[in-house]
Structure 1
Amino acid sequence: MAKERRRAVLELLQRPGNARCADCGAPDPDWASYTLGVFICLSCSGIHRNIPQVSKVKSVRLDAWDEAQVEFLASHGNDAARARFESKVPSFYYRPTPSDCQLLREQWIRAKYERQEFIYPEKQEPYSAGYREGFLWKRGRDNGQFLSRKFVLTEREGALKYFNRNDAKEPKAVMKIEHLNATFQPAKIGHPHGLQVTYLKDNSTRNIFIYHEDGKEIVDWFNALRAARFHYLQVAFPGASDADLVPKLSRNYLKEGYMEKTGPKQTEGFRKRWFTMDDRRLMYFKDPLDAFARGEVFIGSKESGYTVLHGFPPSTQGHHWPHGITIVTPDRKFLFACETESDQREWVAAFQKAVDRPMLPQEYAGEGGGRPASWTGSQFPAAVTAPDPVPLQWRHTSSINPSECGQRPTDTGLTVADGGVLWMGGCSVLMPPGPTCSSGQPGRCQVGPEPLGPCASLEPQGRQPRP
C-alpha cells in the first residue's frame, strides 16, 4: 500500500507544471509540501522546513505518504499554487532562479507563502511606494569598514542617495536610477545579505557594497530599486512591453574571479587581478571590493574581428599560473592566466558567449568603428565633436545595459548635421535632426518607422554630454 501511494506521488510529477520546482524552477523536484500542495527542489525544501507553520515537506521518493496527503497533492499542484500565491506579483519583483543566492530564494518563498504578499497587494508597499528610506551598512571606500549610513530612494527625483551623517542636509552621493544596477554578492562582500550597487560617477563606474542584518529589509531595498528602474524605463520607452523591460532592471555578472594579466607590450610580468565580466565589458580590480576599476576593455563580436583562444602566444613568459587565454582584438592581443583548467574553461565560455553574439549598432564605441582596443581606465569616451556632416555613429556611454538601450535604426546611412548627441536611458547615439526631433529641442525621435525613445537633450557640437 505504501509503495502504491509513493508511486501515485511520482505519477503526479508528470502533470503539467509539476516537473520543475514551484519556487525556483529547478528541474526534477524530489520534494513536496503536503500542506501547500507543491513540488519543490532540495534547496527550496530546506527553506520550507524553516516555516513549519506554513509548509511541511517530504521526500517524493524516500518518505511514506498517507492517503490524505496524496489526495491533497493531487487536488493542488504547482500550477494551482501559482494561480493563488503568485496572482499579483509585480512585474518588477525579482523571481529567483536555481543559481541565485539563498537569500533571494528564501525571501521569495516567505513572501509567497508566509506573508502572502502576492495575494494582498497592500503588503507590497515597502518596495512599491516609490519612496524608501532607512539605514544600511555601507563599506567605506578607503578604510574598508562597514558603517551605518542613511539611504533614501526617491522615484520622483529618479535617484538613490546616501548621507554620511544623520543630520546631513546634502547627500554624500546621488545615484541616478537610469545608470544604476544592483546584484547580490554575499561571498564577495562576506555577508549573506551583501548587495553590490553600481552607478556612474563622473562617467566612471562606481561600486558600493551594502548589507542589512534583516534579510527581508535588504531584499525589499533590492526590489524597490528594480521598481524605480522599471517605472523610469516605462517613461523612457513608452511603447515597450513589460517583458522587454524586466531584463533591463538588474543583471548579474557573467563571470567574476581572479586571473593574471600583463601589459600591452606583453614583456611585463603578469599580475594577479580580480576580473568582472559585465555584458561585453571586462573590468579588472586590484581588490574585489575596490570602488573603481583599474581598467576595462570592450569585447566585441567575431564579425568585428574578436577571437578567444586557449593558451598563450609562443615565447610568452612571466606568468605564474599555467592555463592561458588570449583575446584577439582588431588592434592588439590581451593575455590572461588562470590558476586551474576549470577556471580557464569558465572564462573562455564567458568570453566566447560575447564574441559569438552579433553586436548591435549602439555597441560600437569610440574611434575606428567603435573598437576600444586597450585598457581604458574607468573613464568613458569624451564628448563627440563631429564635423558637419559625418556618417551616423554609435557609442556606449553607460555601464548599465550598454548593449541593450534604444532600438536599432532602419537606415544606417543617415548623417549628423550638427554633431549632436542624443541621450536615451543610459545610451548616447549620434542623431540627425529630423521632422519629429529638431536640434536642441526635447521630444520624440524617429528614424524611419522605428521610434528611438524620448530625447533627453540634443547637445550641439563641441559641448560635453551631461553626466
Structure 2
Amino acid sequence: MASESETNKRLLLDVLTRPGNDACADCGNAEPDWASVTLGVFVCQGCSLLHRGIPHISRVKSVQQESWEASEVELMAAMGNEAAKAKYEQKVPAFYYRPKHTDCKLLREQWIRARYERNEFEFIEKQEPYSAGYREGFLWKRGRDNGQFLSRKFILSEREGALKYFSKQEARDPKAVMKIETLNATFQPAKIGNPYGLQITYLRDNSTRNIFVYHSDSKEMVDWFNAIRAARFHYLQVAFPGASDEELVPKLTRSFMKEGFMEKTGPKHTEGFKKRWFTMDDRRLMYFKDPLDAYARGEVFIGSKENSYTVLPGLPPSTQGYHWNHGITIVTPDRKFLFACETEAEQKDWITAFQRVINRPMRPQEYAVEAHFKHKP
C-alpha cells in the first residue's frame, strides 16, 4: 500500500500534467520542476531562485526531490499556472516586456516582483511610473571620451516625441535629443559591467549612436525600459493606425542578433585586417573599435538575396595580410566585405545570423534605408 508521501507525490505529478503547468509560470521555460507552495505556480529552477528573494510572498519546493503535504498539493491543484495567470496578469499593458528564460536576471526578477509582490497588473495606478507618457530622473551615463559614469538628468516625453538628457543639472538645453521614432533599448549587463546596465541606441543623420546607462535601483531601471517601450508603442499606434497590438509589440525594442569581435579589412582588401567589435542590429552591421564606443566606425547594410546580397564562408584567394583563420565574405551589389573570425564556431554563428537576414525579403521601408545608407570604409 502506497504511503501518504507517495500518494501526495503522485497527485502532485497529476496536477503538473494539467494545461499550462508544463511551462514555467514566469518565463515560459519548458518542464518546470519547482513550485511555489504559497502562490500555487510551477516554475523552473532559475525562477525558483528568484522566488527565494521574496520569502514573505513565495515559498518554493522541488517537485521531485522533496516530500509534499496533502494541503500543499491541494493548493497547487486549486491554483496552477493558468489560474495564477488570470489572477496576477489581469491588466498587463501590451507594451510591458514579458521576459523569457533567456533574458537577463534583472528583467525576470522584476517581472516576478511586479506580479506577486507589487501586484502591478491588478491595479492600474501602480503602472504610472512607466505608462504616464512622461518620465524624468537621474541615470548614471557613461562618458563618451573618458569612460566614466556620471549622473545625468533624463527626460522622456511622449508629447515631444523624444528622450533627452542634460549634461548639467541646471542646463536648459539638452546634450542630446533622441527621437522616439528610432529609439531602442536593450539590457547589456555583461557588456556594460553592471547588472542593471542598459544600452540605448538611436539614429542621428542615419547613423547609429549608443549611450550606456544604469541605475542602482533595479525597479527604477526596468521602469525606464518599459517607459521607453510605452512611448514607442504609442508612437507606432499613431504611425500605423490600422496595425494590431500583436503587430506592433515586436517593434518596440529589440535585442541585437549577434555581437562579438571579428577582424575586417578595407574596400581595397589590401589595407590589413584590424580587430573590431561588431554588432548586428537587424539589417545594420556596425563595427566599433571598442564595445562601449558611442559611435560606430562604419556600418554595412545587409539586404536580401533577391537584391543580390550573399554570404560565403572563407575569403578570396587573393586576400592579403595576416588575419584570423575563419573567413567570411559578404557580397553586396556594390562591393565585397571581408571578415575573419577567431574560431570556427564564431564563423558559423555569424554566417547563420547573416543568412537569417539575407533570406528575409526586404520590407518597403528598408529600401529607403538602403538608398540612404552611409558606409565608412
Return the TM-score normalized by structure 1. 0.77
CA–CA distance in 1 between the matches of 2:22 and 2:175?
Answer: 49
Q: Are 1:24 and 2:23 an aligned pair?
A: no
CA–CA distance in 1 between the matches of 2:369 and 2:128?
Answer: 43
Say whether the 8 Å CA contact 1:295–1:376 is kept in structure 2. yes
Structure with the higher fraction of residues in helix conformation: 2
Moved more, 276-285 or 233-242: 233-242
1:239-261 Cα distance to aligned partner (Å, 9 max, x none) = 21111111111111100111111
Q: CA deviation at 1:227?
A: 0.8
Distance 1:312 1:6, change over 3 A: farther
Matching residue within 118, 122, 137 for 1:134:
137
Q: CA deviation at 1:8?
A: 2.5
Matching residue within 9, 15, 18 for 2:18:
15
Corresponding letter in the other structure for 1:19: D
Structure 1 partner of 2:169? 166
1:402-449 Cα distance to aligned partner (Å, 9 max, x none) = xxxxxxxxxxxxxxxxxxxxxxxxxxxxxxxxxxxxxxxxxxxxxxxx
Q: Are 1:94 and 2:97 an aligned pair?
A: yes
CA–CA distance in 1 between the matches of 2:341 and 2:16?
Answer: 42
1:35-56 Cα distance to aligned partner (Å, 9 max, x none) = 1111111111110011111111
CA–CA distance in 1 between the matches of 2:134 and 2:162?
Answer: 10
Say whether the 8 Å CA contact 1:199–1:207 is kept in structure 2. yes
Structure 2 partner of 1:224? 227
Distance 1:169 1:30, change over 3 A: same
Distance 1:366 1:354, change over 3 A: closer
Q: Are 1:193 and 2:196 an aligned pair?
A: yes
Corresponding letter in the other structure for 2:375: T
Q: Are 1:344 and 2:347 an aligned pair?
A: yes
Q: Are 1:53 and 2:56 an aligned pair?
A: yes
1:216-241 Cα distance to aligned partner (Å, 9 max, x none) = 00100111111111111112222211
Moved more, 318-327 or 180-189: 318-327
Matching residue within 312, 315, 320 for 1:312:
315
1:186-214 Cα distance to aligned partner (Å, 9 max, x none) = 11111010011111234322111100000
Matching residue within 130, 143, 146 for 2:146:
143
Q: CA deviation at 1:3?
A: 3.0
Structure 2 partner of 1:291? 294
CA–CA distance in 2 between the matches of 1:171 and 1:268?
Answer: 40
Distance 1:65 1:319, change over 3 A: farther
Q: Are 1:44 and 2:47 an aligned pair?
A: yes
CA–CA distance in 2 between the matches of 1:156 and 1:366?
Answer: 26
Gaps of 5+ in 2: none
Q: Are 1:265 and 2:236 an aligned pair?
A: no
Distance 1:274 1:11, change over 3 A: same
Corresponding letter in the other structure for 1:173: A
Say whether the 8 Å CA contact 1:35–1:54 is kept in structure 2. yes
CA–CA distance in 2 between the matches of 1:13 and 1:106?
Answer: 23
CA–CA distance in 2 between the matches of 1:138 and 1:223?
Answer: 18
1:130-162 Cα distance to aligned partner (Å, 9 max, x none) = 111111000111111100011111111111111
1:358-399 Cα distance to aligned partner (Å, 9 max, x none) = 1223222478xx596xx7039xxxxxxxxxxxxxxxxxxxxx
Matching residue within 2, 6, 28 for 1:3:
6
Q: In angstroms, what is the RMSD of aligned CA positions?
A: 1.7
CA–CA distance in 2 between the matches of 1:32 and 1:247?
Answer: 30
Corresponding letter in the other structure for 1:58: K
Q: Are 1:377 and 2:369 an aligned pair?
A: no
CA–CA distance in 2 between the matches of 1:280 and 1:271?
Answer: 22
Q: Are 1:330 and 2:333 an aligned pair?
A: yes
Corresponding letter in the other structure for 2:182: H
Corresponding letter in the other structure for 2:319: T
**Structure 1 residues 245-284: aligned runs within 5 Å:** 245-284=248-287
* Secondary structure at 2:11 match in 1: helix
CA–CA distance in 2 between the matches of 1:244 and 1:361?
Answer: 16
Corresponding letter in the other structure for 1:193: Y
Say whether the 8 Å CA contact 1:92–1:227 is kept in structure 2. yes
Corresponding letter in the other structure for 1:23: D
* Secondary structure at 2:83 match in 1: helix
CA–CA distance in 2 between the matches of 1:43 and 1:353?
Answer: 30
Say whether the 8 Å CA contact 1:269–1:318 is kept in structure 2. yes
Q: Are 1:176 and 2:179 an aligned pair?
A: yes
CA–CA distance in 2 between the matches of 1:356 and 1:287?
Answer: 30
* Secondary structure at 2:208 match in 1: strand
1:249-300 Cα distance to aligned partner (Å, 9 max, x none) = 1111100111111112222221110000010111100111111111111111
Say whether the 8 Å CA contact 1:183–1:250 is kept in structure 2. yes
CA–CA distance in 1 between the matches of 2:349 and 2:15?
Answer: 37
CA–CA distance in 2 between the matches of 1:203 and 1:311?
Answer: 31
Q: CA deviation at 1:315?
A: 4.3
